[in-house]
A = this chain, B = another copy of it.
Amino acid sequence: MQTHNAKRVEITIEAIMQRRLTQALLDAEVTGFTVLPVLGGSGRSGEWSRSGQVSRATGMVQVICIIRPERLNTLLDAAFKVVNSHIGVVSVTDCQVLRAERF
């Protein structure tokens, strides 16, 4: 089956910043992404878990973006502006996609 090179970017970010991140992506014409819920985690700012929350103040989500390799930098620039001052993690993996015309 015919596949094509692409990049898979995974951004773990505070839930309250989700809207700002996806808006920055859309503004950079990155229109394809998927948002996953996150149950908990641990990082430099300590451990947290969804069951310890009363408010949307401290939850996180994961935004996954599959993108053509040549558009990666545009995406990272847009994302970086939003995550920069916030806790969160950005990783990039090489991948192959079916139906490349979709990306």
Which residues of A are in contact with B by a Cβ distance under 8 Å? 1, 3, 6, 8, 10, 12, 22, 26, 31-44, 47, 49, 60-62, 66, 73, 76-77, 80, 89-99, 102
Instruction: Report how many copies the assembly holds.
Output: 3
Given the interface pairs A36-B37, A37-B37, the reply to whether A91 lies near B8 with Cβ below 8 Å is: yes
CB pair B43 A35 closer than 8 Å: no
A31 nearest CB neighbor, chain B only: B42
Q: How far does the Cβ of A45 sit from chain B's closest Cβ, in whole Å?
A: 10
A37 nearest CB neighbor, chain B only: B39
Given the interface pairs A61-B39, A91-B66, A98-B90, the reply to whether A80 lies near B32 with Cβ below 8 Å is: no
Given the interface pairs A34-B60, A62-B34, the reply to whether A97 lies near B93 with Cβ below 8 Å is: no
